Amino acid sequence: MFKNLTDFGMERNLKEAIGFYIVSLLLFILIGILLGRIIVGINPYISDEGIDIFLDVIAVVYCITLYSIIHFKKQMDSSEYIKTLALIVGLIFILGEIFSLLFIAILTMAENESETRDDEEIIDVEIY
């Protein structure tokens, strides 16, 4: 369930995608807590709204980075990259980080397109 978490090009099954989701969510929470503590340490008079805006920015950066790494490691279709990226950012603002990370975990179940391209290539060799 928790094996090969750093292999972003790997095609995961449902159990592995759930493990990836749990770890990426926990990592996001840890990053949010650490950066929130740093911001409060720098400016102890920051409002709750300021912290919320800061955490939203961190969530967008985290999800975009995670999605981009998975997209390029799996060599997915580039024409769908911007549409899916907009969908993920929209999910962050509409439903929250939890659902956008869930969508990213589902994307890890997609097959690695570089492997399918290698299988589809046919090499013509003429023997004289």
Render 59-118 in DSSP notation, one character per residue.
HHHHHHHHHHHHHHHTT--GGGHHHHHHHHHHHHHHT-HHHHHHHHHHHTTS--HHHHHH
Tokens of 73: 């490691």
Q: Tell me the one-letter amino acid at 94.
A: I
What is the pLDDT, as a whole number, of residue 107? 85
**What is the C-alpha separation between 124 and 108, in angstroms, rounded?**
34
What is the pLDDT, as a whole number, of residue 72? 86
Q: How confident is the model over 115-126, as pLDDT tens digits? A: 655 445 555 555
What is the pLDDT, as a whole number, of residue 34? 92
Q: How confident is the model over 2-47, as pLDDT tens digits? A: 777 777 878 888 898 899 899 999 999 999 889 888 888 888 888 8
What's the pTM value of the predicted model, to 2 decimals? 0.76
Q: How confident is the model over 69-80, as pLDDT tens digits? A: 888 888 877 777
Q: What residues contact residue 96 under an 8 Å CB cut-off, 6+ apart?
A: none
Q: Confirm if 66 and 25 have CB atoms less than 8 A apart.
A: no
Mean pLDDT of the chain: 81
Q: Confirm if 105 and 88 have CB atoms less than 8 A apart.
A: no
75 CB-side CA count, 13 A: 7
Q: Whole-angstrom distance between the N-terminal and C-terminal Cα of the chain?
A: 52
Give yes or no for residue 108 having a pLDDT over 70.
yes
